Amino acid sequence: MMDNGGFCNDNYHSLSSDDELVDISDVTVDFSEDVPPLIRDYSVGRSKADWRLHNSPKLMDLMDDTVPGIGTYEDFNTIDWVREKSKDRDRHREITNKSKQSTLALLFSVSDAFSGWLLMLLIGLMSGALAGGIDIAAHWMTDLKEGVCLNGFWFNHEDCCWTSNETTFQERDKCPQWKSWAELMVGVNEGASAYVVSYFMYVCWALLFAFLAVTLVRAFAPYACGSGIPEIKTILSGFIIRGYLGKWTLIIKTITLVLAVSSGLSLGKEGPLVHVACCCANILCHFFTKYRRNEAKRREVLSAASAVGVSVAFGAPIGGVLFSLEEVSYYFPLKTLWRSFFAALVAAFTLRSINPFGNSRLVLFYVEFHTPWHFLELIPFIFLGIFGGFWGAFFIRANIAWCRLRKNSCLGHYPVLEVLLVTLITALLSFPNEYTRMSGSQLISELFNDCGLLDSSKICDYSGSRTGSVNDTVSNGLADRPAGPGLYTAMLLLALALVFKMFITVATFGMKVPSGLFIPSMAVGAIAGRLLGVGMEQLAIYHHDWNVFRRWCSPGADCITPGLYAMVGAAACLGGVTRMTVSLVVIMFELTGGLEYIVPLMAAAMTSKWVADALGREGIYEAHIRLNGYPFLEAKEEFRHKTLATDVMRPRPSGPPLSVLSQSGMTVEEVERLILDTTYSGFPVVISHQSQRLVGFVLRRDLVISLENARRHQEGVVSVSAVLFTECDPPASLNAVPAVKLHSILDLSPFTVTDHTPMEIVVDIFRKLGLRQCLVTQNGRLLGIITKKDVLKHMAQMANRDPDSILFN
Amino acid sequence: MMDNGGFCNDNYHSLSSDDELVDISDVTVDFSEDVPPLIRDYSVGRSKADWRLHNSPKLMDLMDDTVPGIGTYEDFNTIDWVREKSKDRDRHREITNKSKQSTLALLFSVSDAFSGWLLMLLIGLMSGALAGGIDIAAHWMTDLKEGVCLNGFWFNHEDCCWTSNETTFQERDKCPQWKSWAELMVGVNEGASAYVVSYFMYVCWALLFAFLAVTLVRAFAPYACGSGIPEIKTILSGFIIRGYLGKWTLIIKTITLVLAVSSGLSLGKEGPLVHVACCCANILCHFFTKYRRNEAKRREVLSAASAVGVSVAFGAPIGGVLFSLEEVSYYFPLKTLWRSFFAALVAAFTLRSINPFGNSRLVLFYVEFHTPWHFLELIPFIFLGIFGGFWGAFFIRANIAWCRLRKNSCLGHYPVLEVLLVTLITALLSFPNEYTRMSGSQLISELFNDCGLLDSSKICDYSGSRTGSVNDTVSNGLADRPAGPGLYTAMLLLALALVFKMFITVATFGMKVPSGLFIPSMAVGAIAGRLLGVGMEQLAIYHHDWNVFRRWCSPGADCITPGLYAMVGAAACLGGVTRMTVSLVVIMFELTGGLEYIVPLMAAAMTSKWVADALGREGIYEAHIRLNGYPFLEAKEEFRHKTLATDVMRPRPSGPPLSVLSQSGMTVEEVERLILDTTYSGFPVVISHQSQRLVGFVLRRDLVISLENARRHQEGVVSVSAVLFTECDPPASLNAVPAVKLHSILDLSPFTVTDHTPMEIVVDIFRKLGLRQCLVTQNGRLLGIITKKDVLKHMAQMANRDPDSILFN
């Protein structure tokens, strides 16, 4: 019964220990040109700098791979987390061992240990600086649509008047140095002709900015479009998209983000900032061998970078870390938590020292009021949550339908035209309404604001607030007052803006320009919240004798804060679209800096998530991941169907049999034919085809490279040479031609499950261990194989979706 | 070659589907008395209420287990996470399926979905209320050591004088209704005799409280001692300690915690509050079938409860959640994150509405200053971090050595005496020094405080602050001033208090009373920080012409805040002892409510962790877990040794062979003998002893219960009856006596790894999937088994520790 099949047992070797890689190690250098350029590009293979590093100091050769290309991945493929982590552990082990031998090695080991922290510092500094630059540039270019500064065209409106001496405190925005386009062209600032000129210039600039953005993206970095978060989620889960986080993407995304935001389109810079931070991280990783060479370690850094992105986008370092943990990351060890936090803080402080908004804050819409709220107000807050949930579900469905239409119709062939068209419509419709004309974050800032005594904006136009004498006003304090005519106009405009924003955002998100949806979503919610808040306020004023109001709203008291409603609405809508929970509440908490409003925010976020989940399980990012067919194994949702591994594995009962290699009975030609005939990314190795008893697993890529290498550099290898996956020498009879020994590329510890294993457990294993594939055995005999793609297809099928929507391995 | 050995293949059954449990399902009721009482006690088995629930409504029988006791665990054993999660998924699936059939079932399914949230709400309310009660009671009893209120003995000092009309704002603490013991006994409040009486009464009360605490703990709930966090960590990792989170523990821990804190011992209530919250959670779990019956689900709730504990201890809900995530939890899905946050918030708001400190804050030591800090101050902050690291390492070593001494010497036999002795020493030494006489949190509160104009305490005694006229003082503002004589005395006393606290805390933590070490650690750090801060302040005043000070410390400016130094020191020392990182910074951030001090705190926490890690890898909780020999698989540290599964598995080369069951060839007697002869907690089932090809795994406990059940209730079962793990009927020849069919208790999907799998991957699998055991195969043949205990022993051995220190399975 005991068929050992020529496989000799040895006691001590692991996945990639050096001493076992010797058999083909005599050739290392001239193979590098055979590696496809893509690999060299993406830092897994060897760049030039890498080679230099690799060949000069003695220290580096402890990480020497034998055949270049082995252990790397192809584009649009999934990495093997277990292997990557093993590689890193091997590396660490060898550094530790060497560090006992010499002082230089000890120093190297210490610098290696601290390189992670240094990298985090650099990412924080770089991302903070870039975010500050983007803020300043976008501010200037947004103002450029209105007019220009005579003191220097590079000043924005505020800076222009700030440097001028002729402004008063009351009218900070008006100064002779700042000329609107109307003033420059027709000489007047008021009247119909001025309006027409301003309108025209506004539309022209918007079109120019949008055109530049979309052409730059198309010409230099197609990956720079969109928000980038769906792709980053997929990359973090172990997928490879070469160039997605490269330097061109970074440069073009930064420039076009400024252009897109300035063009007045309904989009935000917050999501793309995450992409920008990840690009920074990826580029900086190139300077640290530890991270350049290891896909798993690099993903830890990228997780931290996404925390950095949110940290600078909202000025919320803790919220950013939780966002990364909750929304983006896949593998997030505690070490990364601490480092992310560090990087997020560095970035926030870098941004603060740049001070792009001139208010020592990191965001435009910081909230400064601390008025209390009443328990009964939870009812409108929950109502806002319901609104947010409905809006989220509507937005996701409409946006996905629109994107699908774009993909499947001729619309997709004219991205530039589409962008210009949407920009034209946006600009034409938004200029007449001051609340759509201003930028998204300005609008949110205004809506979050609690009306002070000196506020001159329309939404603060309460009767009695400016007509009465100063004394009157002071005695009234900040009490709730009846609305004035300006407020009614403002409400009407806001209602129009709400409808406009809701529809135009659907068309905007997904176009070929960088576009985030945090700000548009929050704007929708903030408008809805402000409308409801003002409504409640007026209700309380006119009906303060109602039972509900009598207790907390005596006349002359400040009992309802419309700004708080706007904030709650913004949180609810953002929650509905993205399905964030803790991170959302923490981000909003950091915007307000107090625990006061955490209960309203939480009530709204919770309601919104429940409502939105009831209408459709997935958030906008998951929906886009699915739309693109990325192989993303969602960690949040549990697989609850009662299928077994045997139902999912290949070979299917009707399909072709499983392609396996036998450990010693095959020739080079047979193996090569198998490779040519199939497209599988790996093959199980068994003792013999007859017994089907599993020995290990070999990856197609490693096999191809090794065979080519052997054919080229190993003497006497011909088509009939035996391919040996065993460690011991072949029997004497076969010794006529030298055999190709491939024991070193064989993974001797493939993951196996039995055919009776429930799929829920298999899914859990894939998720938690980050597998690429898993072998299925029955009573010790190899039955089949399950790949990540199989799992995803099966999950899609069980959820009544099209299994062929999963495109990649 | 194909030996199927009588095992017939069917296509569709999972671990615990109901239809396969029918073969012994005719007997369910009268078996319950055979289950050991412990099991019934600890909510996994059936309590009486459970039985009632179970037998009356139709809805409940969808979770019917067939033989009671199957699928439960013994005390001091590790749970199987995979099995528990499978059970929960089965349960959920059945509820979902039923919910389509009737409205009642639909309602049940909805209530089931929301029961998690309801449970969180209840935990938050209960823990918040208990924490408030503990705060109030401890406050009152601490004051009782000084004196008593004549208006009613139940008033504490502050409330007593608050209700009195005769107090002025300046001397709120003095009122005729409050009588110190000296005043009551010898009639005077000053002088030697009064001092002696006060001293005597102080010591007496302290001894009384300590005596009560230790006797209550010993008499009713031995598990109530200590901080509880090491055990909770172990429980959350999947260990079972029955009664550790029971109602008696809760009651006794709550009472004795108040007593211990009031006795003036150097301990805090913060750690034990985590234990209290977990007890609440565990008790409340009994009311929800979903959580009562499932060990994995219950642990999710317990993770949330530990967040609640920290939330009420420090008034830091976000910090609490991160503490649970970083420090305590093992399996922390995102759903739990959101629920923890909810529960933590509910608890914080409950506590705030109780308002135990009368300041609308959740803690005594809330920080209210927002003065800026200078970049150069990072040097002293980092110095504090180094101090914290050294203190942490010293404390852990000294405390572990002391606990080991207690364990191994006769000291351990007299816990009451030990407590009384330590209390006596503490009371005798602490009364003369006002900074040790006050409670830990009061001391911290005073040290964190920035000296205002009206502060009359000694540490705010700066020259010129009270001698000058009011005008002078105002013109000086809050500028740094030279120290007055009171400040010098205070510094001396603080230095003495520092030395005292450092040593007495080592002896206190680990005694048989509830004791947390957050407060003592923070107190040590706060004293050190304040000393350094005052030192820096005076240095800057006397040497403001030094280059370093000239830029930021002009005379008359407020440039150094000693309170900030105290805060940074507290964070550093707490970090050194517990090795918390993110959660520590976030807790401190929530105490201050601003981002200003996050960089100093982070610098100190980071330095402290690095220094402490360099001196000893593990925090105090891990050290105590190891001291107690709990089977805790640390998630933070990576296993970096190069061993293989084959080196760790049993049977060892020299040991007895592996005990396996064959799937159809054994009789009841043979199986029973195997059970009697071995102590293993489970047995692999193979096709035949000869082929060693793996079929599944069966747990000892399930096997014992099933065999007993069959012997008792199945007709015709005798010693020679065959035991069948196959599903098909036995061959006719064996049909003379009925066979015992045990297919239903067989786990058909045991986890397997190959013998060549590196141990680092095996450790990872154990950690991530929460396994109890894993089978080792070679080329499809069963070779051995690795249990969690084997893994832990191996890890201990590789770290040059005693492998026999791991006591439990």
| Cα nearest neighbour of B587 on chain A | A318
Burial A202-238 (b: 16+ CB within 10 A, else e): bbebbbebbbbbbbbbbeebebbbbbbbbbbbbbbbb
Query: Is the Cβ pair A749, B765 closer than 8 Å?
Result: no
What count of other Cβ atoms lies within 10 Å of the Cβ of residue B335? 14
Which residues in chain B have their CB less than 8 angstroms from residue A691's CB? 1
Peptide bond into B317 cis (omega under 30): no
ipTM here: 0.83
**CATH code, A128-143+189-354:** 1.10.3080.10
Please list the ranges in chain B whose pLDDT falls under 70: 1-67, 163-173, 359-360, 453-455, 464-480, 554-557, 593-594, 729-736
**Smallest Cα–Cα separation from A63: which of A21, A102, A31?**
A21
Eight-class DSSP state of B268: B
Q: Where are the beta strands (DSSP E) in B95-215?
A: 147-149, 178-180
Q: Which residues pair with B775 in a beta bridge?
A: B752, B785
**Smallest Cα–Cα separation from A565: which of A538, A597, A610, A517?**
A597
**CATH code, A379-623:** 1.10.3080.10
Which residues in chain B have their CB less than 8 angstroms from residue A328's CB? none
Query: Is the Cβ pair B14, A82 closer than 8 Å?
Result: no
8 Å CB contact between A259 and A141: yes
Min Cα separation B53/chain A (Å): 26
Cross-chain CB nearest to A693 (options B594, B758, B779): B779
Give kind and range of the element (H or E) at residue B774: strand B773-778
Which residues have a Cβ under 8 Å from the Cβ of A807 and sit 6 or more positions away? A628, A629, A630, A631
3-state secondary structure of B766: helix
The CATH number corresponding to B381-627 among 3.40.1010.10, 1.20.1440.230, 1.10.3080.10, 3.40.50.2300 equals: 1.10.3080.10
| Cα nearest neighbour of A342 on chain B | B602
Query: What is the Cα–Cα distance from B710 to B707, expressed in whole angstroms?
Result: 5
| Cα nearest neighbour of A10 on chain B | B756
Q: Can you read off the two tokens belonging to residue A651?
A: 């070979």
Q: What is the pLDDT of residue B169?
A: 53
Mutate to test the interface with A, among B330, B779, B781 (most CBs of A within 10 A): B779
3-state secondary structure of B695: strand
Which residues in chain B have their CB less than 8 angstroms from residue A4's CB? 779
Query: What is the Cα–Cα distance from A173 to A158, expressed in whole angstroms?
Result: 7
Mean pLDDT in each 10-residue stretch from start to end of chain A (809 residues)? 35 32 30 34 35 36 54 83 86 87 88 91 96 92 88 82 62 74 83 89 94 92 90 92 92 94 91 95 92 90 94 89 88 86 91 80 75 86 96 95 90 89 94 90 88 74 55 46 83 94 92 91 95 90 78 71 92 94 88 78 91 91 90 80 88 85 86 88 88 88 88 82 78 66 87 90 89 89 90 88 79
**Smallest Cα–Cα separation from B234: which of B244, B222, B248, B224?**
B244
Q: What is the pLDDT of residue B349?
A: 87
Query: Is the Cβ pair B756, A768 closer than 8 Å?
Result: no
8 Å CB contact between B321 and A582: yes
Give kind and range of the element (H or E) at residue A195: helix A192-220
Q: Please check whether the two domains, B128-354 and B381-627, share a CATH topology.
A: yes
Mutate to test the interface with A, among B349, B580, B756 (most CBs of A within 10 A): B756
Query: What is the Cα–Cα distance from B420 to B427, expressed in whole angstroms?
Result: 10
Which residues have a Cβ under 8 Å from the Cβ of A715 and sit 6 or more positions away? A738
Query: Is the Cβ pair A754, B750 closer than 8 Å?
Result: yes
Q: Say which amino acid occupies B67.
A: V
CB-side neighbour CA atoms (13 Å) of A45? 23
Secondary structure in 3-state letters for A25-87: CCCCCCCHHHCCHHHHHCCCCCCHHHHHHHHCCHHHHHHCCCCCCCCCCCCCCECCHHHHHHH
φ/ψ of B172, rounded to 5, equals: -60, -25
Count chain A–chain B contacts defined by CB atoms under 8 A: 189
Which residues in chain B have their CB less than 8 angstroms from residue A583's CB? none
Which residues in chain A have their CB less than 8 angstroms from residue B590's CB? 595
Which residues have a Cβ under 8 Å from the Cβ of B104 and sit 6 or more positions away? B59
Query: What is the Cα–Cα distance from A280 to A128, expressed in whole angstroms?
Result: 10
The residues spanned by each domain of chain A are: 128-143+189-354, 379-623, 645-805
Which residues in chain B have their CB less than 8 angstroms from residue A606's CB? 342
Residues shown for chain A: 809
Mutate to test the interface with A, among B9, B120, B318 (most CBs of A within 10 A): B318
Query: Is the Cβ pair A778, B86 closer than 8 Å?
Result: no
Report the top-level CATH class of A645-805.
alpha beta
CB-side neighbour CA atoms (13 Å) of B353? 10
Query: What is the Cα–Cα distance from B784 to B189, expressed in whole angstroms?
Result: 77
What count of other Cβ atoms lies within 10 Å of the Cβ of residue B9? 12
8 Å CB contact between A236 and A329: yes
Q: What is the pLDDT of residue B399?
A: 94
| Cα nearest neighbour of A768 on chain B | B768
Query: What is the Cα–Cα distance from B498 to B506, expressed in whole angstroms?
Result: 13
**CATH code, B128-354:** 1.10.3080.10
Which residues in chain A have their CB less than 8 angstroms from residue B361's CB? none
Cross-chain CB nearest to B749 (options A598, A758, A768): A758
